[in-house]
Chains A and B, each alone.
Chain A
Amino acid sequence: MLISPKRRSHTLNSSAYVQLLDLAKYFGKVKALDGLTLDIAEGELVALLGPSGCGKTTALRALAGLQELDRGAMIVDGQDVTFQKASNRGMGMVFQAYSLFPHMTARENVEYGLRLRVHKTSGQKRKARSAELLELVGLSTHASHYPYQLSGGQQQRVALARAIAISPKVLLLDEPLSALDAKVRTQLREEIRRIQVELGTTTLFVTHDQEEALGIADRVGVMRNGQLEQIAAPAELYDRPKTAFVAEFVGLTNPIAGKVSGGSIEILGGVVKTLPGSITSGSGIALVRPESIDVVASKSGNATVFSASFLGATCRLTISMRDGARITAQLPSPDATGLGAGAGVNVSLLDIPVFVKAAG
């Protein structure tokens, strides 16, 4: 994970470079956007994360000018762009589907936006710029290749270079990695981050893949039903979710019932603090992260291992509790040595605050 210390210091503030204010878009009864408000600081990479139909792509397309809105305003660099045509907004966009112009070479694709600029860039400068950008995305040797001669990952790199070529006010990435295989996806994800940090381009990245979002974004916004459920730095979002939806959507959780009182919950024979936003009293369901569960081998313990999956650095155990409930725990692989299926274990909670939602 590449993290720029400079960008880490960004917080929501009035000096936002991009402001989305109360955006709403309704398709019949479906609320694609229902009062979305979001600020992005200059040079920041914000990822919008959420399930299908949560409105994340609609938000991105609205900012690009490709989606008309029913309500709301969008301000970029102090300018109201709400009613500006997409072709005049100066946004660079990379699409989920391969979008290179098939009749142009990689270089011509990258140069396309430059050729259309109002102050037409001279041929010489254009060539230099496209060469520089293809170099940046590691494809200088493929400049004269046509899209059909490039792999999916290479096509998306060229698309990225093409979007950056026009020095966009905001770089918009609409699930650019979802059509790629896992290895290329991880590699390209990190490259996108490297390039974004290098150029300092303000970026909005839409994805349904939480690993992608948490892996490269300065802040991640979780969307649901057209609204922003929570926006925070990846670690905060993961460790301190403010709603049950965020806790359950980001990362894995084990729902474990317990009794809440005085800002704590009693579960698995222990007491842990609850996070702000949790219910404050009565029966609740704690949403416990697999890594917050401590598992120790013990023949007279309170559970048995049902199955174990080795994931490399960590090991994931599915554990059957005495009452028949199943929970998932994740331990560093060395700690899980000998904990195979059927092994007796004692399960307890680490002292990490948990989010608690109301039971039922």
Chain B
Amino acid sequence: MRQTIGVKIWRWSIISVVAFYLVVPLYAMFDFSTKPFGFADSGRTFRAWALIGTQENLIEAVTRSLITAAIVMALILFLVVPTAIWVQLKLPLLRRPFELLCLLPLAIPAIVIVVGIAPLYRWISINLSESPITLAGVYSMLILPYTYRSLSAALDAVDIHTLAEAATTLGAGISRVIFGIIMPTIKTGIINGSFIAIALVLGEFTISNILNFKTFQVVIAQIGRTNGHVAVAVSLASLLFVVVLLLLIPTKKRQGAVLDVDLT
């Protein structure tokens, strides 16, 4: 019993320290965003917050970034995850090269990537689309190291070979095995990987800024140049928005049902 109380105290101490560590910067942001910044202001003011809605390009930028994040997530679900499973199941010899390939973006600085892909995006802008949504392509490459790590950990934790064979003997084809059995089994890894990816996409600045795409972060930076209080208010609002998104994580049952589709 005493041990349980000790564990409880220890647990709550850690949680408190972490919460403190996280909450202090957030409070500082809130504090700054509500400080007076005009001649007419005094005391606390929510003018910066009220100005969020009047910012040019902001809503479009948020929408575009969210669409980009959704595309990246779709690419993870329907390309990266099935490929990782396929390699693990059918091409074990390619596991190492695949892992290396996925980790590569981590080793290359963002600026180098931008220089490398700039001509490609110039071509895309001229011939296909000027929309920042096309950034989904380069983002889905950037997120590979993070997504792959969490996928790989999830795949290693389960005997997917036996599960795949069991499903096969029961009549399942390979797509059903991947989408109906393995993906729901490693869904925690997929969700973790996807959220890291979304966070990365919503927070990426270097590439979009240099390529001159007006994404969410680029617009915040622009606002910051004209009014720091509003920029901080927008940042805090976006953080709250992401928290709400996280709270909307599909429940276990629903997620399983969503992924249990047959593509054969």
B170: A residues at CB distance < 8 A: 87, 92, 112-113, 116, 162-163, 166
Separation in Å of the A29 CB from the closest CB of chain B? 20
Please tell me if A88 contacts chain B, counting CB pairs below 8 Å: yes
Tell me what chain B mostly uses at the interface: helix, strand, loop, or mixed.
helix
Q: What's the nearest-Cβ distance from chain A to residue B158, in Å?
A: 7
Set of chain B residues within 8 Å of A336, measured between Cβ atoms: none
Partner pick for A93 among B165, B185, B252, CB 8 A cutoff = B165
Q: How far is the CB of B160 from chain A (nearest CB, A)?
A: 11
Pairwise interchain contact A113-B171, C-beta atoms closer than 8 A: yes
Binds B, one of A95-103, A181-189, A207-215, A339-347: A95-103
Looking at B165, B167, B181, B184, the one whose CB has the most chain A CB atoms below 10 A away is B165
**Bound complex: CA A196 to CA B262 (Å):** 32
The answer to whether A89 has its CB under 8 Å from any CB of chain B is yes
A-B contact count (CB 8 A): 69
Q: Is the CB of A101 within 8 A of B163?
A: yes
Tell me the minimal C-beta distance from A112 to chain B in angstroms.
6
1/0 contact string of A136-167 vs chain B (CB within 8 Å): 00000000000000000000000100110010
Residues in A neighbouring B159, C-beta threshold 8 A: 97-99
- The CA of A100 and the CA of B181, in the complex, are separated in Å by 10
A166 contact from B162, B171, B184, B256, Cβ within 8 A: B171
Q: Contact: B169 with A66, CB < 8 Å? A: yes
Which residues of chain A have C-beta atoms less than 8 A from B166's C-beta?
93, 95, 99-101, 159, 162
Answer whether residue A91 sits at the interface, using C-beta atoms and an 8 A cutoff.
Answer: yes
Do A87 and B163 contact each other (CB < 8 Å), given the known contacts A102-B185, A103-B256? no
Pick the contact of B171 from A88, A98, A101, A159 — CB < 8 Å? A88
Q: B185 touches which one: A89, A90, A103, A116 (CB < 8 A)?
A: A103
CA distance A88 to B174 in the complex (A): 12
Q: What CA separation (Å) do A89 and B165 show in the bound complex?
A: 13
A66 — which chain B residues lie within 8 A by C-beta? 165, 168-169
| Assembled-state Cα–Cα distance A102/B163 (Å) | 9
Cα of A189 to Cα of B63 in the assembled complex, Å: 61
Alpha-carbon separation in the docked complex, A97 to B164 (Å)? 12
**From residue A188, how far is it (CB to closest CB) to chain B in Å?**
18
B173 adjacent to chain A (CB < 8 Å): yes
Q: Are B167 and A101 in contact (CB under 8 A)?
A: yes
Listed in ascending order, the chain A residues whose CB lies under 8 Å from chain B are: 64-66, 86-93, 95, 97-104, 112-113, 116-117, 159, 162-163, 166, 172
Binding site for A on B (CB under 8 A): 158-159, 162-163, 165-173, 176, 181, 184-185, 187, 252, 256
In addition to A87-B169, A93-B166, A101-B181, 10 A-B residue pairs with Cβ atoms within 8 Å of each other are: A65-B168, A86-B168, A89-B169, A92-B170, A93-B165, A95-B162, A97-B159, A98-B159, A99-B166, A103-B184
